[in-house]
A and B are shown apart, each in its own frame.
Chain A
Amino acid sequence: MGKRNANEWKRHGIQALWALLTNSYLIGFAQGKIYKGKLKNLCVPGLNCYSCPGALGACPIGAMQAVIGSWNFKFAFYVAGFLVFTGALMGRFVCGWLCPFGLFQDLLHKLPFPWKVGAFKGDKLLRKLKYLVFAVFVVLLPLVLVDVLGQGAPYFCKLICPAGTLEGGIPLVLMNKSMQSALGVLYAWKNVLLLITVILSLLIYRPFCKYICPLGAVYSVFNPISVFRYRVDKGKCTGCGACARACKMQVDPAKDANHPECIRCGACKKACPVKAIQGHGNLSS
């Protein structure tokens, strides 16, 4: 195993550990139930469906839609504050290290496939889609499209989120006969979206994170100013381009070490032959 591969597996180990830690209500998987304790007051930083049988915390995107779509609140200060706090500290480090659905896509992309797609025409434009998804499905629709009681549905979760299908929908339906009898077009639609995500993940590195994820969209805004960020020592950098070639998110760290698309996976740091890229988060500078 090469040094770069070993480092990547180390990251996957941490991702898996975090996923296990935040989804450690294992009895839920056996019984087809979800955790109902007070820990669910707290949001987890990554995209992690709160209807996953193992989930101990609340998904920030789901929680935001729940508050915005409630009849008495039209802005989610608690969840927005959590996103600002987490984003300001870490930016998209969360995507690279603390998101179970990111790990799922990482592992899928490792599977052998006849061809892998890097950058393609329209890729840059497509990456803006996640901001639209956030604005429309997470904020606008739950706010505007309400029932007679003034309550909006979590439209992103309902119509798009493949993480909810994978982590909540499939295990719960497998374990509950009553749910199996209630399956319909929506469940089929969400499974099709999950299947598309799986297939695309074989071809493209993290397609959901790049193009769709509203959480990644929010954290990306904080990347350039977050406390933990990357810095390139311009004195050391030889401009060899090794970092850009190593980046699966198609970022060129030598040009912009804190690009909104950087998920802080560290591949560029490991690839740099002169160790010009470093992660910093201290106040001494």
Chain B
Amino acid sequence: MMGGKRAPWGGLCLAALGLAMMGYGVFRGELPVVLAKAINICMECIGIG
């Protein structure tokens, strides 16, 4: 008997929720903030800022 052998529906539902959240984040314009931070050297991150 496999301990805890269940179909991973909880995980799949959460993954779908995650995708929906990502979509909403993109829709409300969060991507440019992520991109702006990622394409410029983050002085704080490397210990200079």
Residues of B within 8 A of A117 (CB): none
B8 and chain A: residue at smallest CB distance: A227
What is the CA–CA distance of A153 and B7 in the complex, to the nearest angstrom?
Answer: 42
Contact of A280 among B5, B10, B34 (CB under 8 A): B5
Query: CB-CB < 8 A to B48: which residues of A?
Result: 169, 173, 179, 182-184, 186-187
Mark each residue of chain A from 194 to 225: 1 if its CB lies under 8 Å from any CB of chain B, else 0. 00000000000000000000000000001001
Contact pick for A281, options B1, B8, B13, CB 8 Å: B8
B22 touches A89 (CB 8 A): no
Interface residues of B (CB under 8 A from A): 1-8, 10-15, 17-26, 28, 30-31, 33-39, 41-42, 44-49
From B23, B26, B46, give the contact of A172 (CB < 8 A): B46
Query: Given contacts A40-B38, A50-B37, is CB(A154)–CB(B44) below 8 Å?
Result: yes
Contact, CB under 8 Å: A81 / B19 = yes
Is A229's CB under 8 angstroms from B8's CB?
yes
A61-69, A97-105, A118-126: which lies at the B interface?
A: A61-69
Listed in ascending order, the chain A residues whose CB lies under 8 Å from chain B are 34-38, 40-41, 43, 49-51, 55, 57-59, 62-63, 66-67, 70, 72-73, 76-89, 153-154, 157-158, 161, 164-165, 168-169, 172-173, 179, 182-184, 186-191, 222, 225-229, 231-235, 257-258, 278, 280-281, 283-285
CA distance A34 to B42 in the complex (A): 10
Cross-chain pairs A/B with CB under 8 angstroms, 13 sampled:
A51-B42, A62-B42, A66-B33, A66-B37, A77-B30, A78-B31, A85-B22, A88-B11, A88-B14, A169-B46, A173-B48, A222-B11, A281-B8
Distance, CA A209 to CA B48, complexed state (A): 25
Q: Are B12 and A186 in contact (CB under 8 A)?
A: no
CB within 8 Å for A77 and B21 given contacts A58-B34, A184-B48, A190-B47 = yes
